[in-house]
Amino acid sequence: MKKYFVVSLVKNGILGGGIVADQEAITYHTGKVTVPREYRQLVMKYDEISDATEGWLFILPTVLVKMKNGKEYKFVVFFSRKRLINTISAHGFHP
């Protein structure tokens, strides 16, 4: 079953969008054409995630997803930050 999260990618500003979580990966989607192509549909497979931590950007709750290849993606999570962490944890990664 897919789960949906309202998030913004923090990369050279705050880029609106959403995350869809399924059985294989979490995928960040945005329809904004001003966002570089590599971030418009960013797939993060669970087995490639090395760490996921909660944090803050001023007063906004965030989740930092670290990949095994060294890349990091910070997301402002507007609703259900704990549910996003739990979704990642349920698929093999345990923070």
4-7's contacts with Cβ under 8 Å and 24+ in sequence apart are 5/77, 5/79, 5/80, 5/83, 5/84, 6/77, 6/78, 6/79, 7/63, 7/75, 7/76, 7/77, 7/78, 7/84
Rounded to an integer, what distance in angstroms lies between the CA atom of residue 35 and that of residue 32?
6
Domain boundaries, the chain: 3-90
Residue pLDDT tens, the chain, 95 long: 899 999 999 998 888 999 999 999 999 999 888 888 899 999 999 999 999 999 999 999 999 999 999 999 999 999 999 999 999 988 866 55
pTM score of the predicted model: 0.90
Give the right CATH number for 3-90 from 3.30.559.10, 3.10.20.520, 3.10.450.40, 2.30.29.30. Answer: 2.30.29.30
